[in-house]
Amino acid sequence: MARVPEPLRAAACFPPEADSQGDARAWARVMVTAARELRAMSAEAKAWSSDVHGEVLAALDETARVMTAAKAPVLAAQEASGTWKAPGVGSFEQFRAKTTRTGTGATRKELGAARAVTQLDGGL
């Protein structure tokens, strides 16, 4: 039987019935847990073989691509919902910059990439 670390087991708490919102929340928890665990493991990367370096880097590169594609429709839906609007927040870019603490330049780049991916995938 495969070993499933406790943090991953705890994060992978899916609803009993298939549910888009509940499943999305569970997958998001799994993603963050896996990233945190890998971050902790990467402290020992100097001791890894070059094959492991290559495999882990390839997985990280693919994950970054897939996460950008997964994030695009969520960002588009949140922007379209308008629920982010609040006094003193003039744009979705400002809202994201504040909530992510990345600044407007990084946020503008993120949203531009998300909009491009959404358009390539045919929109929502």
Is the residue at 61 inside a domain? no
In angstroms, the Cα distances linking 109 to 5, 13, 83, 96, 114 are 35, 33, 22, 11, 9
pLDDT score of 118: 75
Kindly report, residue by residue over 91-100, the tens digit of the pLDDT.
999 999 999 9
Q: Are residues 79 and 122 in the same domain?
A: yes
Q: Are residues 36 and 75 in the same domain?
A: no
Is the residue at 55 inside a domain? no
Is the residue at 74 inside a domain? yes
In the chain, pLDDT over 70 holds for what percent of residues? 97
User: What domain range is 113 assigned to?
Assistant: 67-124
Q: Are residues 72 and 122 in the same domain?
A: yes
The conformation of residue 21, written as its DSSP 8-state character, comes to H
Question: What's the mean pLDDT in 58-69?
Answer: 93
pLDDT at residue 124 above 70? no
Count the domains in the chain: 2
Predicted structure pTM score: 0.80
Q: Are residues 39 and 88 in the same domain?
A: no
